[in-house]
Amino acid sequence: MSKLIGIYSGNIKTFHNTPCKIAIFTDGKIIKVFQKEFFRNSLYNPNWSRNVNFEKYNNLKKIEEKLASYGFSK
């Protein structure tokens, strides 16, 4: 069973400061990272999608450091 580690909020600077949320889950061994963008010119709410770029670190501390360097906070 997966456990929610945290939800991080921030803006994606390369997408014209699009608001974004990132959720990190783990079952003790495998870390899964999900991302949801909130596009300003969109009329629909997109679903959460996997972010394999952060999952490749497979280390919670490295993922949190990378998110902090991009300006995301809990």
pLDDT in tens, 8-58: 999 988 878 889 999 999 998 899 999 998 877 666 666 889 999 999 998
Question: In terms of residue numbers, what domain contains 42?
Answer: 3-69
Taking the C-alpha atoms of residue 26 and residue 23, their distance in angstroms, rounded to an integer, is: 10
Contact 39, 17 (CB under 8 A): no
Domain presence at residue 74: no
What is the count of structural domains for the chain? Answer: 1
Exposure letters 34-50 (e unless 16+ CB within 10 A, then b): bbbeeeeeeeeeeeeee
Domain presence at residue 22: yes
pTM, 2 dp: 0.83
